[in-house]
Structure 1
Amino acid sequence: MTAVDWLWLLHPFLAVVLIYPLIGMVLHLGLQTRARRQKTNLKLPPTVGRSHSDLGQWLAAGVVVLVLIALSVVIASKAPLAEFEGGASRLIQLMLVLLGTLMSLVALWRSRAPGLRLAFSLITWLGVLTLGAQPEVWRLSDSPLTTAFWQSHYWAGVGVTGLMLFSLGARPEILRDLRLRRLHVTASVLAAVLFVAQGLTGTRDLLEIPLSWQKPAVYGCDFVLRNCP
């Protein structure tokens, strides 16, 4: 394996080691928080709600950073720097988008005003979508009317990123407003389903991505007739 191949493994490695364990903890604490609010007979400490909220904040930020890492690696490793489409000017523009997205995420984390949190949530998600729209990023389909779109690892990742940003941006309101709390529960269930789908489609994509030195031979194959020269 070359250095580029190891870079491609960074995204799934961080997902398995950091993100999915966090998902399990956040879901477990979320169920405990709900049980405590419903005043069941379970003896649960009063800190479960705060722990759920704090870990959920780290999970949301971690998912955004993980997606940005994946997009950056894909774009940067598609071609040598001398052959980068658009040249240095486009590369600088993309780096500014990446930096702006990260700064917006930090601002979202630190903001207290609802309007600012909403704005920074949208800016962060727009930054993710902008990087994901680059031609170097491979997507099964861009049309929701096709089956391939719903099987796409990329679009499921974009969707779960949006749900995470919603939970992060509306965190104080979720704690106070019952209607938003119910919406948060619905969003969390949908996010859990998408995370399961991400585990499946991500594993599938890893099987389909050849090592860097194998790409010329593999991409010379006919993927429709399923034969190679």
Structure 2
Amino acid sequence: MQTVDWLWLLHPALAVVLVYPLLGMVLRLAQQTRDRRLNQAKLPPTVGRDHADLGQWLATSVVAIVLIALGVVIATKHPLGAFEGGPFRLLLLLLVLAGSVGALVALGRVKQPLYRATFALLCWAGVLALGMQPEVFRLSDNPFSLAFWQSHFWGGAGLTGLMLFSVACRPEIHKHLRWRRWHLSANVLAALIFLAQGISGPRDLLEIPLGWQKPAVYACDFQAQRCPTPAPSAAP
């Protein structure tokens, strides 16, 4: 494997090692928090705070590894010397990436609802802007096609939005029943998307060849599922 192949493994490796274990803990604490609130179990009062804290870690991790994946894909699709659009486009994309990271950091620090909503939307807009670049593979951009709903990228984009929403409205979730219901609905949907991402991610990994294999693999006709006949090897 070449260096670029290891870079492409960062996103799935971080998802397996960090995100999915956190997801399991957050879901377990969510159930315990609900049971304690409904007096269905005698649990320590810290379960609610632990659920919120780990939930924020989960959301931040999801957004961070999505940004890492987009940055790696855009930077390694072609050599930087032959980067499409030249240095100006590269600088613009770096600014979008830096702005998205800055908005994510600021989201965890600001208190006012307007600022939280603003930074969450800015971060999500940055993710979408990076994801719409031609270097990023997407099965389809048409929401009326089945391929769109099977796309790993669009599932990740929706999941990122749901995670940012949960972080942005954390104080309101603690104070208001209506917000808790919105939070519950959003995170049931998020859990289903996590499940779908766990399937579509390995599927896409099977379709990505190693760097030295790409010229041969991309010479194939993917529609007809046929590859050129290899030239006969020279006699020893």
Show the counterpart of 2:90: 91
Write out aligned runs for 1:165-204 (5 A).
165-204=164-203
Amino acid at match of 1:35: D
- Alpha carbon RMSD of aligned pairs, Å? 0.5
Alpha-carbon distance in structure 2 between the residues aligned to 1:100 and 1:82: 24
- SS of structure 1 residue aligned to 2:227: coil
Within a 5 Å distance, the mapping from 1:40-55 to structure 2 comes to 40=40, 42-55=41-54
Q: Equivalences for 1:59-74 in 2 at 5 Å?
A: 59-74=58-73
CA deviation profile, 1:83-140 (whole Å, cap 9, x unmatched): 1000111101100110011011111100000000000010000000010010000000
Matching residue of 1:221: 220
Q: 2-side partners of 1:121 and 1:178: how far apart?
A: 22
- The Cα shift of 1:43 comes to 2.0
> What aligned pairs does 1:1-229 form with structure 2 within 5 A after superposition?
1-40=1-40, 42-229=41-228
CA deviations on 1:191-213 (whole Å, 9 max, x unpaired) are 00000000100000000000011
Q: CA deviation at 1:225?
A: 1.1
Q: Deviations over 1:120-163 (max 9, x none)?
A: 01000000001001000000000011010000000000000000
State the shift of 1:80 in Å. 0.4
What is the TM-score normalised by the length of structure 1? 0.99
Distance 1:207 1:195 in 2: 19
Q: Which has the larger radius of gyration?
A: 2
Offset of 1:227 from its aligned partner?
A: 0.9
In the TM superposition, what is the alpha-carbon distance from 1:224 to its structure 2 partner?
Answer: 1.2
Question: Percent of aligned pairs with the same residue?
Answer: 65
**Per-residue CA distance 1:9-28 (angstroms, 9 max, x = gap):** 00000000000000000000
Query: Match for 1:75: what amino acid?
Result: I
1-structure distance, mates of 2:93, 2:80: 14
Amino acid at match of 2:175: R
Query: Which consecutive residues of structure 1, in runs of 5 or more, have no partner in the other structure?
Result: none
| TM-score when normalising by structure 2 | 0.96
Output the amino acid matched with 1:117. Answer: R
Counterpart residue type for residue 39 of structure 2: K
1:148 is matched by which residue type in structure 2? A
Q: Deviations over 1:45-98 (max 9, x none)?
A: 110000000000111111100100000000000000111000111101100110
Look up the SS of the partner of 1:149 in the other structure.
helix
Question: Residue 140 of structure 1 aligns to a residue in which SS?
Answer: coil
